[in-house]
């Protein structure tokens, strides 16, 4: 993917592509001009001896300490070294790539006072696929993602480690092999690199894209489960949705109708005497539609934040002003991540309930636990228990992180967002839902196979064929663990997005 950064909106679709694949970044003429003008103002501030936070003062509670001109470069490098205190497992390269790209986008707006050379060096790292090693823990989401961004900044000055082709390499060696000269930081540059919400935003964006994957798979699984129990598609009727008016509900119902259209199984029981199906079947448009509305809202917030300038202080060339504020506070990301956590949990909860319906002979009309010779065979009994365990775990993980603030920096930073954790925990929740939905896909496929020779819809039959390549018909007891893992991987790869592409925010732009 090639991306020209020139003060334009970088779209959600472009961000998804940058998450999925390598990207080549280039600065446009407008961005170059604005960066240069902003840096010129910082040079003037230093030359005139004006006292400006982070340019010629200490940081945090040490902001009252004036730093001499001969120590300004040392000040910025000390900031990077002292703040690189992250711990825990490393962030994946796809997240690091998003972090770096969004930092380029922010700096290229021309409000940060950095040199063009700095932004071009960061672009060079991206273009050479050199990804700094960034530990995942250590940020409270204000003042920016300081610790993780310090690890990113360290690579620019030739300290720390980077990942090249999946291998850890000392930063100086990787830069030398790529022909990139480590940069010597100028006034304000260390602070501009460290202040910002790019880490929490990247983690949240990655979770958004993965939520699109599970939402799509869950809609397919729900359609399959509906057919497997010979459920009614009347609750998906357009007229029912239109009188309530929620956009997500209307969109989800349309997808479900498309997925089930032409099913011989459905046609075989149109005149049956069943009046209503369980809520997990009947209320899919209402529940999944609400989750889609949450996803759409979160996407709007994160697309804005991905294009935002979130360091401090900010440089305004039109008024020749350097202003200190708080754009680094990641509360918008934290609240969005907490909101998304609820939707992720609900997608998994509804899927788990459909699995429970499928294995219950009284509700589904299928053999108990989806297996012949029940008693001798336990069938999908324990697979539903696994799904229940994961759904229950997600209830705890859905507790809002943003309500938990803890003061830092000797109470100078007395309210923080916890956005980085709020976003990071979403990935564990998505992992859980991928497995829940994988179990439902397997269970629904088993249920549909009990109706042979009748066929389902074309879309469902295509998925049935794919599932049977990964997991044979369950005829007698065997472990399903590897089958679940294989089907879960197809969800994580986004293979079900094609069935709901028209309603997914990052794919329908």
Which residues belong to the active site? 53
Sheet holding 130-132, edge to edge: 130-132, 161-164, 167-170
Q: Are 464 and 506 in contact (CB under 8 A)?
A: no
Residue 78, C-beta contacts closer than 8 angstroms, at least 6 positions apart: none
3-state class percentages of the chain: helix first, strand second, coil last, to nearest 5: 60, 5, 35
What string of H, E and C letters represents the secondary structure of 324-366?
A: CCCCCCCHHHHHHHHHHHHHHHHHHHHHHHHHHHHHCHHHHCC
The conformational region for residue 41 under phi > 0 = left, psi -120 to 50 = alpha, else beta, is alpha
Q: Are 377 and 332 in contact (CB under 8 A)?
A: no
Strand partners, 410: none
Residue 445's Cα: distance from chain center in Å?
29
DSSP state of 408: B
What string of H, E and C letters represents the secondary structure of 8-44?
A: CCCCHHHHHHHHHCCCEEEECHHHHHHHHHHHHHHHH
Nearest to 283 by CA among 234, 221, 336: 234
Q: Are 99 and 134 in contact (CB under 8 A)?
A: yes
| Cα distance between residue 185 and residue 182, in whole Å | 9
* Backbone phi and psi for residue 448, each to the nearest 5 degrees, phi listed first: -65, -40
Complete DSSP assignment for 142-205: SSSSHHHHHHHHHHHTT-SEEEETTEEEEHHHHHHHHT-PPPPPPTTHHHHHHSSSHHHHHHHH
| Cα distance between residue 81 and residue 153, in whole Å | 9
Residue 298, C-beta contacts closer than 8 angstroms, at least 6 positions apart: 204, 208, 336, 337, 339, 340
Strand 24-27 to 2-5 pairing = parallel
Residue 501, C-beta contacts closer than 8 angstroms, at least 6 positions apart: 216, 507, 508
Please tell me the number of Cα atoms within 13 Å of 9 on its side-chain side: 9
Angle at Cα 112 formed by Cα 40 and Cα 137, nearest 5°? Answer: 150
| Cα distance between residue 345 and residue 290, in whole Å | 12
Residue where the block lists tokens 């040079």: 43
């Amino acid at each position: 993917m090639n991306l020209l950064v020139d003060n334009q909106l970088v779209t959600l679709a472009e961000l998804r592509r940058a998450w999925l694949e390598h990207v080549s970044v280039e600065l446009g003429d407008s961005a170059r001009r604005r960066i240069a003008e902003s840096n010129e103002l910082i040079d003037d501030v230093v030359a005139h001896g004006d006292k400006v936070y982070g340019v010629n003062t200490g940081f945090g509670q040490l902001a009252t300490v004036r730093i001499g001109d001969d120590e300004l470069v040392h000040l910025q490098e000390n900031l990077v070294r002292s703040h690189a205190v992250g711990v825990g497992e490393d962030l994946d390269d796809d997240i690091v790539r998003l972090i770096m790209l969004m930092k380029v986008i922010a700096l290229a707006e021309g409000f940060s006072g950095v040199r063009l050379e700095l932004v071009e060096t960061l672009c060079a790292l991206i273009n050479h696929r050199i990804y700094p090693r960034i530990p995942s823990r250590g940020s409270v989401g204000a003042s920016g993602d300081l610790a993780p961004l310090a690890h990113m900044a360290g690579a620019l000055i030739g300290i720390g480690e980077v990942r090249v082709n999946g291998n850890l390499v000392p930063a100086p060696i990787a830069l030398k092999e790529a022909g990139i000269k480590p940069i010597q930081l100028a006034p304000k540059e260390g602070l501009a690199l460290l202040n910002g919400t790019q880490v929490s935003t990247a983690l949240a964006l990655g979770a958004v894209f993965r939520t699109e994957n599970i939402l799509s798979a869950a809609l397919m699984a729900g359609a399959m489960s509906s057919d497997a129990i010979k459920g009614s598609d009347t609750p998906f009727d357009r007229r029912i949705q239109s009188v309530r008016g929620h956009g997500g509900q209307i969109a989800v119902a349309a997808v479900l109708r498309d997925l089930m259209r032409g099913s011989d199984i459905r046609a075989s029981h149109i005149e049956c005497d069943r009046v209503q199906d369980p809520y997990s079947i009947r209320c899919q448009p209402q529940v999944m539609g609400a989750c889609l509305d949450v996803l759409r809202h979160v996407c709007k917030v994160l697309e804005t934040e991905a294009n935002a300038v979130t360091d401090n202080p900010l440089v305004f060339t039109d008024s020749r002003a350097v202003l200190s504020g708080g754009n680094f506070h990641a509360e918008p990301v934290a609240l969005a991540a907490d909101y998304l956590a609820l939707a992720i949990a609900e997608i998994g909860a509804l899927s788990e309930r459909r699995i429970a319906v499928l294995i219950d002979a009284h509700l589904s009309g299928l053999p108990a636990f989806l297996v012949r010779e029940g008693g001798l065979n336990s069938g999908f009994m324990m697979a539903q228990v696994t799904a229940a365990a994961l759904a229950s775990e997600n209830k705890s993980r859905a507790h809002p992180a943003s309500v938990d603030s803890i003061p830092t920096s000797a109470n100078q930073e007395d309210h923080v967002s916890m956005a980085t954790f709020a976003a990071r925990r979403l990935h564990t929740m998505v992992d859980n839902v991928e497995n829940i939905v994988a179990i439902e896909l397997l269970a629904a496929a088993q249920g549909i196979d009990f109706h042979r020779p009748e066929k389902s819809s074309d879309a469902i039959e295509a998925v049935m064929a794919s599932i049977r390549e990964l997991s044979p018909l369950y005829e007698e007891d065997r472990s399903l663990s590897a089958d679940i893992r294989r089907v879960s991987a197809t969800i994580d790869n986004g293979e079900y997005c094609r069935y709901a592409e028209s309603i997914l925010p990052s794919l329908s732009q």
